[in-house]
Structure 1
């Protein structure tokens, strides 16, 4: 029995042993921590249009209460329906008039970002990836898939990409196209993570994001190390359906997540640029694609108040961004003092708090001017993966397995004065 007077010494010894073990513990072997990345306060232009109160808590409501947590909603308002990629591994059909939802088809793995073919409303393209903590069948593979809505038939579009290191890119890079029928085990590798996608106006070119390509990469908690390290592992892939080819359009970015084609130039022709969210860097970029080179990019917004996730465009052409998590003082401190990250990564993940905060942002059609933002405590709408604008309301998917129902929000009154001025202006 330990005597009372010796208890402090025993505690000191135990604490010293624990501290020594923790100090010598290693961060994960594949964790490559990027350099210091100072984060500042959000820009004055954004703060000026940020709602003073928590408008999501005040005005958001929940429909389809039996719908599991979601990643994406794709609307067909002229048909009175929407389809929802859910965290139970199914694509659900939502009746927009009644708010009732029912499972439509089971997808491979977990369906994520999705878009309808602009030319064929029966074809829905979607990403499928692993979800952290959820078991998957060995024969199910991440990648790009296509769903025939009426027949409920799913077929793979792309499950492999041109080979390259799964490690850490130092600079933005791209590659020449590889024909799909020319892929072999020697020149290709499996897609590890398909997160979000967008389709060109002619339905022929699909871009999709691979935030990181580690073996067995997964959504949700599986991305924790990437969020902490800010490693430059993000890749953007371009699939040309007409030429039946794929190429690496960009790499060397930190966690490419949301993707959204810009409108074609005023003279018509193909889209030549797109928007991407670089989630763990808290910024929005415009990427100008080259034929085979890395292209160039410009930073539209940095120091965002939350982690930017999915992108979408409303009928007036305005761009909406879901902030899946708000930026915390801890995140700012870690990015400003990168040496702390190796210490944090030694801790059991269960020791770290997981917040529910979220937010939304709206930008002008060219993506340059902030129009609106609302920061939310997560009490009603935690973990907003994307803002999906409808004709008269916004749909806010909640990326959490432990919640049910889909959040909807009326268009903010603060935007009414700007609505008439916001027409679909082609981006430069």
Structure 2
């Protein structure tokens, strides 16, 4: 059962404060999270997990290499016991112990005999249940643009209970990406990048099992999700949406598949724009922040921490930090 989508407000974003980029020694810090000690964790295109101590009054930034996945780490989740969940686009859902060395523990690398080829993001409930996404059954990370063009609708939201088997909760998502739980764990929200929306699946209460839209008609492609201490859900918009692509998504499936085959060989440059949005638990936009002409492109993650926003990018050689403005009136 689906409910009527909640549209995003179609207004111009407020200015995103100036960004301060911190180079970290590796390419493409695609997702950023903060551990219990206030340090930033991110995975990079060289297969490493890095831990960054942000600069403060007593010293500059410090970057440590704390794990190697052997693939391409994307979404991360810091666990209370100090371990780290990693969605690796090539190896599946992993668990690592920072600084311990050795091979990561593979939690899920296939579902019902089908390889988990594009594991994207993960979040953990208080009881240890994991919710994670796979962006596409048809394309891997290298050809992610082809899935956006084809509009394949083969993304998945999955659940892994402690000691249980992986369950597929939703299997027709348009490029399933970021995933986050409500503060009270009453629902799980997943970013459908190719559909410009955050889809919600209720987990408890009278609407348990109901799928609806937390917020739709977003002005760009939502990527990773995070939740602040006050319950705000943050999403990075990796790129603005365009009218030609919107129209193309209404073309026949055969036309979209042919165009996707061509898109495998074409990689248009990312636009020099950064945009992030904060969304309240009920779907109301609390922050809409953007900056054009920025040197920091393709923002794929945003994390709120102690009055700052920390941004990650699939393309850039470092993370970016800026002050957090007040909520929109």
Deviation at 1:212, TM superposition (A): 1.4
Query: Of the candidates 248, 254, 260, which is equivalent to residue 168 of structure 2?
Result: 248
Please tell me whether residue 274 in structure 1 is matched to residue 188 in structure 2. yes
Please tell me whether residue 359 in structure 1 is matched to residue 275 in structure 2. yes
Structure 2 CA distance for partners of 1:152 and 1:299, relative to 1, 3 Å: same
Higher helix share: 1
- Please report the TM-score for the alignment, with normalisation by the length of structure 1: 0.67
The CA deviation string for residues 377-414 of structure 1, in whole angstroms up to 9 with x for no partner, is 363221111111111211110111xx32211121024x
Equivalent in the alignment of 2:158:
237
Please tell me whether residue 47 in structure 1 is matched to residue 10 in structure 2. yes
Specify every segment of 5 or more residues in structure 2 that has no aligned partner in the other structure, as ranges. Answer: 1-5
Higher strand share: 2
Distance 1:218 1:367 in 2: 33
Please tell me whether residue 103 in structure 1 is matched to residue 65 in structure 2. yes
Deviation at 1:60, TM superposition (A): 1.2
Say which one has the larger Rg.
1
Please tell me the root mean square deviation across aligned C-alpha atoms, in Å.
2.5
Distance 2:43 2:261 in 1: 34
Distance 1:232 1:394 in 2: 31
Distance 2:236 2:31 in 1: 11
Question: Does the 8 Å contact 1:145/1:156 carry over to 2?
Answer: yes
Residues 371-380 or 232-241, more deviating: 371-380
Deviation at 1:99, TM superposition (A): 1.9
How many pairs are equivalent?
Answer: 315
Distance 1:198 1:410 in 2: 25
Equivalent in the alignment of 1:149:
98
Equivalent in the alignment of 1:18:
none
Question: Does the 8 Å contact 1:311/1:386 carry over to 2?
Answer: yes
Deviation at 1:346, TM superposition (A): 5.8
Aligned pairs for 1:403-414 (under 5 A) are: 403-413=316-326
Specify every segment of 5 or more residues in structure 1 that has no aligned partner in the other structure, as ranges. Answer: 1-41, 131-141, 164-187, 265-270, 419-428
Query: Of the candidates 133, 140, 149, which is equivalent to residue 218 of structure 1?
Result: 140
Equivalent in the alignment of 2:178:
258
- Please report the TM-score for the alignment, with normalisation by the length of structure 2: 0.86
SS of match in other structure, 2:322: strand
Query: Of the candidates 189, 192, 199, which is equivalent to residue 124 of structure 2?
Result: 199
Distance 2:245 2:79 in 1: 38
Question: Does the 8 Å contact 1:64/1:101 carry over to 2?
Answer: no
Deviation at 1:127, TM superposition (A): 0.9
Deviation at 1:297, TM superposition (A): 0.7
Please tell me whether residue 311 in structure 1 is matched to residue 225 in structure 2. yes
Query: Of the candidates 391, 395, 408, which is equivalent to residue 310 of structure 2?
Result: 395
Deviation at 1:337, TM superposition (A): 4.2
